[in-house]
Structure 1
Amino acid sequence: MSTDEELRCMLMRGGTSKGAYFLAEDLPADAGARDDLLLRVMGSPDPRQIDGLGGAHPLTSKVAVVSRSQSPDAEVDYLFLQVGVDRAEVSDRQNCGNLLAGVGPFAVERGLVAARDGHTSVRIRMVNSGDHATATFPTPDRRVSYAGPAEISGVPGTAAPVVIEFERGSNPLLPTGHARDIVADTPVTCVDNGMPTVLIAASSLHVTGYERPRDLEEDLTLHDRLQRIRLEAGLLMGLGDVSETTVPKLSLLAPPTNGGAVMTRTFIPVRCHTAIGVLGAASVAAGLRVHGGVGQDVARLPDNGGRLRIEHPTGFLDIESEIDDGTPGAAPVARRTAVVRTARKIFDGTVFPRPAGAALHP
């Protein structure tokens, strides 16, 4: 393990997020010491994160911890940690499908997985949930290539495609056992296809679902209503008291405007996402296909094929989503979930954390 005065680190963009990637062996084994170190690396707690790597937003205050897998069914383990921005907290209560896009390339770069000539597939165990995914990306001449033709909304330019195929998760698709629940006097569908998510028709909250994220964040009446929904839904979904966690996510649904299946505004948990997370989109897509769910009143699903286009404030995310929902009396289950993302290495080197015990002033 490196000393906390200097630490080997790779900064990567994964999908529409950005985070610091570390080998587990380079971090303290004790979770408390690790979290303290990561807060100092990212510059938290501070709304600007001016003294660290964080970008003053939950989407840019993330950490991936990667190691050779302890499971015979995977090659690498990936632990996602959400680092608070203006709060001294580090959460492992959720996965992150965006940073997942960089895990395979990082594993090759660090020598955990040998690259193949052409394309390399890496089977990844997501430690937060125990679920598995396989990431496939180009490795010409057995080296990771980040350049390519793939475009994703929310990221300028193009990059090499990273195809992520998710295996069926261990959690029930409908954690409450119902396609529709009434939570805080609001019809919702609670779904978990890799990310606990509450689907809500925007119209039921007296908003359109097309507002700018900032405008939704500044709506104090909406904020209070969403907080009530999240706390009550968390209990119904078996997540317990979620007042200090980032799950479940809340996704407001509105009819699509650009040929997609649905328009979304997603809260993480109080900031409104300028796009949508991969696993959040996976849960939205599966939830739209649940017979009797709130999405059926809003979405425009294609007549055939498994690809759904999930619209969001800065574009869209295409996701392959199929569920088994045809047997009377049987609980629906996710059959297939896959998505194309991109990732890019931004820097690889040494990060110098803020000194331990340094006084913090507002």
Structure 2
Amino acid sequence: MSDPTRPRRAQRRVPAVWMRGGTSKGVFFHAADLPADAAERDALLLRALGSPDPYGQQIDGLGGATSSTSKVVLIAPSERPDCDVDYHFGHVSITDPVIDYSGNCGNLTAAVGPFAIEEGLVHAQEGMTEVRIWQANIGKRIIARVPVRDGEPVVDGDFRLDGVPWPGAAVELSFLDPGGSAEAPLLPTGRACEQIEVPGVGVLAVSLINAGNPTVFVRAADLGLDGRAQRATIDGDPALLDRLERIRAHCAVRMGLGETPEAVSRARPATPKLAWVAPAADYRDSTGASVPATRCDLLARILSMGRLHHAFTGTGAVALAVAAALPGTLVNALTPWPGGHGVRHVRIGHPAGVLEVGAEVVPADAGWTAHRAIMRRSARRLMEGRVLVPW
């Protein structure tokens, strides 16, 4: 209970850690340090990141004014016997008072294990520490294998991740049973590919996949694109962005994730993701470096919170890898595979370079099931202390 005789501070001080995971950054909190009331909690988180900001800069908060840097993570000890920590992810809108909890962030998942170890939630095992994570947004288990030295997560190493300028230590993530969720099965409509009519756009072939996060895949050529586009080209075309959002919102309704396209656009900006794919080809990444077609199996671009992601989302990569292993999908058509057992790896050519991710898809009574997906990311604690929030 607060002391009524103590002078009221102008700002509330909340313990927090700023972390990079993969190609994203987010502010990590212990759930117990936040208000128990969800509305009060979200109001505090929005203010901490500087949202909503009509100028789009999050200048009065910790958000970085991009979809990759406007994120929060809530961590708590897990009550599940098969998990160590519960991980809740929130994608914070920059311009609107909205935190979307409908999906996971695969990139920041890489930072959950190191955070849990450094915060004493998981006992460090020298060499390699396994952290069992319950992803509360989508109700899935994830195993993170974190390299440890002298009781602390290792941050230096020779693992390079395109989109991150310095090498680091690889954190291996195993997404267990990543296909499907409480909202929708692996194939929400039961079809690997189908035609959907979007008002103002026309009829498009789409593959609707629910793995990692719900994701809509379309062919780049059907959008008038070639798969090589960079952020300036896509984000600088308001008419194209509007068309892409129409497609995303209508497909969300088709997937059973919203009542109307308008409701999806308003309240569910984070998921489903929309990605477009194209055959492998030579291109230049965002640094101007040449990426030969031989380095990747296909080209792909993905939207995040209405803008082109500067690399490729982690959960989008999981969905793409699952789709690549599923016969009949648009992704599978670009990366033909004779099938078989084990993890199938696919190399994704994205704006910042190439990302490799693997998935194992096996036949099931009702069609197919995704057994697991595997990828590697690096992560690092950037700052620790207290977030100050006017309150």
TM-score (norm 2): 0.86
1:323 is aligned with what amino acid?
V
Contact kept in structure 1, 2:63 and 2:70, CA below 8 Å: yes
**Equivalent position amino acid for 1:215 in 2:** T
Letter in 2 for 1:322: E
Are positions 1:271 and 2:297 aligned together? Answer: no
Counterpart CA distance in 1 for 2:43 and 2:75 is 18
Q: Does 1:314 align with 2:359?
A: no
Which of 324, 331, 334 is the aligned partner of 2:370? 334
Q: Is the 8 A contact 1:302 1:308 kept in 2?
A: no
One of 220, 228, 234 as aligned partner of 1:216: 234
| Equivalence for 2:94 | 85
Residue in 2 that maps onto 1:289: 325
Shift of 1:133: 0.3
Aligned-pair Cα RMSD in Å = 2.0
Quote the residue 2:13 is aligned against: 6
Q: Is the 8 A contact 1:320 1:338 kept in 2?
A: yes
Equivalent-residue separation in structure 1 for 2:63 and 2:239 (angstroms): 30
CA distance in 2, matches of 1:330, 1:27: 42
Give yes or no for contact 1:255–1:300 (8 Å, CA) kept in 2.
Answer: no
What is the correspondence of 1:73-222 to structure 2 with a 5 Å cutoff? 73-169=82-178, 170-171=180-181, 172-183=185-196, 184=198, 185-222=203-240
Aligned to 1:248: 272
Is the 8 Å Cα contact of residues 325 and 344 (structure 2) preserved in structure 1?
A: no
Structure 2: give runs of 5+ residues left out of the alignment.
3-8, 282-292
Kept after mapping to 2: 8 A contact 1:7/1:350: yes
Aligned to 2:45: 38
TM-superposed deviation, 1:56: 0.8
Q: Which amino acid aligns with 1:42?
A: L
287-296 or 191-200, which deviates more:
287-296
Query: Displacement of 1:104 after TM fit?
Result: 0.7
Q: Which amino acid aligns with 2:334?
A: V
Give the deviation of 1:16 after TM superposition.
Answer: 0.3
More strand by share: 2
Match of 2:27 among 13, 20, 23: 20
- Aligned mates of 2:386, 2:245 — CA distance in 1: 39
More deviation, 253-262/335-344:
253-262
Identity percentage of aligned residues: 40
Counterpart of 1:285 in 2: which secondary structure?
helix
Q: What TM-score does the superposition give when structure 1 sets the normalisation length?
A: 0.93
Cα distance in 2 between the residues matched to 1:298 and 1:321: 16
Confirm or deny: 8 A CA contact 1:201 1:298 kept in the other structure.
Answer: no
Structure 2 SS opposite 1:58: coil
Distance 1:322 1:89 in 2: 35
Residue 360 of structure 1 is matched in structure 2 by none
Aligned residues: 353
Please say if 1:347 is aligned against 2:387.
no
**Conserved in 2, the CA contact under 8 Å of 1:261 and 1:301?**
no
User: Which residue is equivalent to 1:29?
Assistant: 36
Deviations 1:202-249 (A, max 9, x none): 001111121112211233342232222112211111101422212110
Partner Cα distance (1:194, 1:14) in 2: 16
Distance 1:309 1:275, change over 3 A: same
Q: Distance in 1 between matches of 2:334 and 2:127?
A: 42
SS at match of 1:177: coil
Shift, 1:135, TM fit = 0.3
Matches within 5 A, 1:56-67: 56-67=65-76
Q: Name which of 229, 234, 242 aligns with 2:247.
A: 229
Distance across 2 between alignment mates of 1:122 and 1:332 = 28
Q: Which amino acid aligns with 2:190?
A: G
Which runs of 5 or more residues in structure 1 are unaligned? 357-362
The answer to whether the 8 Å contact 1:262/1:300 transfers is no
Instruction: State whether residues 248 and 269 of structure 1, in contact with CA within 8 Å, keep that contact through their aligned partners in structure 2.
Output: no
**Match of residue 284 from structure 2:** none
How many angstroms apart in 2 are the aligned matches of 1:87 and 1:221?
21
C-alpha deviation, 1:289, in angstroms: 2.2
